Structure 1
Amino acid sequence: MTESRKSKPRFNRRRFLQIVAVAGAGAGLYQFGIRPTRAIPHIVRESRKMMGTQINLIVCGPDQDACLQGVEATLHKMGEVEQLLSRHLKESELSRLNRYGVVNNPSHALQSILSLARDVSMATDGAFDITVLPLLDLYATDALPTEEQLNTARGLVDFQAIEWTGDRAAFRQSGMSITVDGIGKGYIVDQGVAVLQELGFHNVYVEAGGDLMVSGAKPQGKPWRIGVRNPRPQNVEEMMVMEVSRPTAIATSGDYMQWFTEDMRHHHIIDPRTGMSPPELASATVTAPSVAMADGLATAAMVQGPEKALATLETMEHCEGLLIDKDLRQYRTSGFEV
């Protein structure tokens, strides 16, 4: 087995087609239990900053060059998505929607994430809402917002006030704005995994800021080991570890990731209905059919609290959760395994 960290291979359409042929053939042989003569499994790792967080990739396959090029193709696609959906890029499609209240001919990525965000909002009774940005912006200064400021901003929060078609995406009310921070990392991971699957790679790990998808296994059939972080690292409790050998999407949301006060009572997760940080949970880890869905549901679970979040997850097919409150008590759905 060899392992390498990616350099910066050149990438173009011809090379892309070569990757498909090489990776697809190799993956097919492995799928049927046929190992090419003297094939040595390779592992390629790469990290890159994107969407305001760190992207980490691990790709395993029989051909090192194909692995390297597969990583490059994946990062290329993820970069394209970032150019559309990052609110931190002034000319992104999302930033233009926030600035003007409307964009024409919205991209497939924007329409997809608006649709998924709406589905999560509906499933969680509005605990998740991408129009929460006016409330989140109130915490950009050192001073906590006043009740008057919260009341004004709450009037701009309503996920049902976004409308879109193939020709147009727009806000129904002036002054609205959105953030996909609570679902965008998951979406960008899903897009990266889709590229690797198209190229024939099935033993992969793709992660963005703790939200991840694993598929297949490590070389020699070893399962992926995924840690569930203790939300209070100063506590002596050990990290829980999940051993995964099937395609699994996992996302974690927590008050420790970005806070506005030292006691973590005020943090980056905002209840869109109150404008305040929810008081009960320290972290929520969710598994779901896609990383974007897991990402959105984990954020919503933080807002809902343990009782409502567990009830929500139990009604959703192939979704499970582990919730940890501020006293480190754990709550699990019936099917969550760790």
Structure 2
Amino acid sequence: MSRITRRRFLTITAAACAASRLSAAAPVARWRGHALGAHAELALAGVSQEDAAPVFSSVAAELERIERLFSLYRPDSALTRLNRDGVLPDPAPDFLHLLSVARTVYSVSEGAFDPTVQPLFTLYAEAANGGRSDPDRVKEVRRRIGFDKVSVASDAVRFRRDGIAMTLNGIAQGFATDRLAELLTRAGLRNVAVNAGEVRVVGQGAGSGWPVRLPGGRMLRLTDRAVATSELGATMIDPDAGVGHIFDPAGRRGTLRAKPVTALHESAAMADAASTAAVVLSDRQLPLLRKIGVGIVATPLKQA
């Protein structure tokens, strides 16, 4: 499978702009790299670049660990092995934790967020390379989809039938953001901005909150909050057919949202999954996400 990098339309002025608005006398350490195919950046307020070096080494090691768990493109990752073998013995605690968060959003969104859509992704990617997808084939693939067909236990994660595969692209970058934010706070840092594909801030930035610019230019000032944005067309699998990287798992919900959707929560993983679900949910269904404390910024479908 060719690698398709998901683009995000959330402009984080948190790590770039907000840090520069701190007092000129206050140092700001910055780190830039990549996480699960996305650009990643950190800003640590009140810390010099030299003092931050050991922390940044820990950040790089943590991202490598997360890649070994959730990457679709590494042959040795836990997710790749699960998709290949249909079972993952002795899953790491973080793998189980991420699936628990995914299950929560799957349940509350009535299946709008479903990690088992990976066979649809593969089908449409193959069709983009070799012709149009067969509607009967699409129906057959959809019958395999359903997170309820995945058994999750401490001793193993198992697929309950053949032909299932998972993608965690709608939640893993948020999870990585959470893990980095937690790593930094454990190191005693209390004023940081993290972007590992999604954004989470700790502290108040320059004092009024870290500024994060949403698609369309709206600015939010966040304190101890996470924000994630999803957009149907952020990555196009088949541009000619108008097929994006977010799917209606059941194929019954009608028109998906074409404009960006932003979710806010204490957890970046929760916000990430919720923003993905919100692309699929109707205007009437969006309030479902309030049950897990998610705030949504979205253009109503009738205005899209």
- TM-score, structure 2 length as denominator? 0.85
- Contact 1:269 1:277 (8 Å CA) reproduced: no
Q: Does 1:242 align with 2:228?
A: no
- Contact 1:213 1:291 (8 Å CA) reproduced: yes
Q: Secondary structure at the match of 1:206?
A: strand
| Structure 2 counterpart of 1:324, from 282, 285, 299 | 299
Q: Does 1:47 align with 2:22?
A: no
Give the deviation of 1:293 after TM superposition: 0.3
- Contact 2:113 2:276 (8 Å CA) reproduced: yes
Match of 1:190 in 2: 178
> CA 1:328/1:263 → structure 2, altered by over 3 Å: closer, same or farther?
farther
Distance in 1, matches of 2:269 and 2:110, equals 18
Q: Secondary structure at the match of 2:236?
A: coil
- Contact 1:129 1:158 (8 Å CA) reproduced: yes
1:243-263 Cα deviation digits (max 9, x unpaired) = 22x201100000231124558
Distance in 2, matches of 1:265 and 1:275, equals 18
Match of 1:129 in 2: 114
Give the deviation of 1:74 after TM superposition: 2.0
1:147-203 Cα deviation digits (max 9, x unpaired) = 111111112111011112221111010111100000011001001111001001111
Deviation larger for 161-170 or 67-76: 67-76
Work out which structure has the larger RCO, using CA pairs closer than 8 Å and 6 or more positions apart in sequence.
Answer: 2
Matching of residues 51-70 of structure 1 within 5 Å: 51-70=36-55
> CA 1:275/1:303 → structure 2, altered by over 3 Å: closer, same or farther?
same
Match of 2:210 in 1: 224
Letter aligned with residue 161 of structure 1: K
Task: State the Cα RMSD in Å.
Answer: 2.3
| Structure 1 counterpart of 2:260, from 283, 307, 324 | 283
Q: Secondary structure at the match of 1:157?
A: coil
Q: Which residues of structure 2 form unaligned runs of 5+?
A: 1-14, 16-24
Q: Does 1:313 align with 2:301?
A: no
Distance in 2, matches of 1:223 and 1:264, equals 42
Distance in 2, matches of 1:191 and 1:51, equals 13
Letter aligned with residue 225 of structure 1: P
Q: Which residues of structure 1 form unaligned runs of 5+?
A: 6-39, 231-238, 330-338
Match of 2:244 in 1: 267
Could you say which structure has the larger radius of gyration?
A: 1
- Contact 2:253 2:281 (8 Å CA) reproduced: no
Moved over 6 A (4+): none
Percentage of pairs with the same residue: 27
Match of 1:301 in 2: 278
Give the deviation of 1:325 after TM superposition: 5.0
- Contact 1:281 1:306 (8 Å CA) reproduced: no
Give the deviation of 1:64 after TM superposition: 4.0
Give the deviation of 1:62 after TM superposition: 4.2
Letter aligned with residue 84 of structure 2: R
Match of 1:212 in 2: 199
